[in-house]
Amino acid sequence: MPKLTHLDPANRPTMVDVGAKTATFREASAEATVKLPAAVARELRRTGHRTRKGPVFDTAIVAGVMAAKKTHEIVPFCHPLPLERCTVDITDRAGGSIHIVCSVAVHHKTGVEMEALVGASAAALTIYDMCKAMSHDIEIGPVRLLTKSGGKRDFKRNAKGKRNVNSKRGGAARAARKRPA
């Protein structure tokens, strides 16, 4: 069974000690989807994705980057990281769906998947906030990790949304143990 890393020997919450770890290049990306009612989606397209509050996508990009940079202030046991790259890409898809991808990179001792997830989430929440005057029937989700690399384990979700985890250490041995004899 996997061990929870944020619990001390007495089962109290604690921050993971990364002091002895080696810094490596780490990347992660996460996605969020915002589902708009058809009338709201049409109005956003008609206005060039602007509301009375301003440019929706541009504001969501700024909010996503700001949130990713402040993840350690939002999620209690995240380490403060000097992000080297953070991008938020937003695509207006058919059927009233807005797709957000936040990608983050750093050279550090701990991963950046939480930063990518927080960035994508904040961008989605910003779109909701800027469009809620038109409707409260806006849905956010799923929010999920797409990729992670540079630590003990890499993770990649395939095009169909299924996960594909690759371990950097012991992957072949673990796979061999899982095969029936």
The low-confidence residues of the chain, meaning pLDDT below 70, are 1-6, 11, 17, 19, 159-181
Looking at this protein, which amino acid is placed at residue 68?
A
Q: Which domain holds residue 142?
A: 24-151
The pLDDT of residue 180 is 39
The burial of 150, by beta-carbon neighbours within 10 Å (0-12 exposed, 13-18 middle, 19 or more buried), is given as buried
The pLDDT of residue 10 is 76
The number of domains in the chain is 1
Tell me the per-residue pLDDT of 149-180, one tens digit each, with 9 for 90 and over: 998 889 999 866 666 666 554 443 333 333 33
Task: Flag whether 48 is in a domain.
Answer: yes
Instruction: Look up the CATH number of the domain holding residue 111.
Output: 3.30.70.640
> Are the C-beta atoms of residues 7 and 14 closer than 8 Å to each other?
yes
Catalytic amino acids?
Answer: 129
The pLDDT of residue 115 is 97
Task: Flag whether 178 is in a domain.
Answer: no
Task: Flag whether 110 is in a domain.
Answer: yes
The pLDDT of residue 26 is 95
The pLDDT of residue 3 is 66
Task: Flag whether 156 is in a domain.
Answer: no
Mean pLDDT across the chain, nearest whole number? 86
Task: Flag whether 130 is in a domain.
Answer: yes
Using the CB atoms, write b or e for 41-60: b if 16+ within 10 Å: bebbeeeebbbeeeebbebb
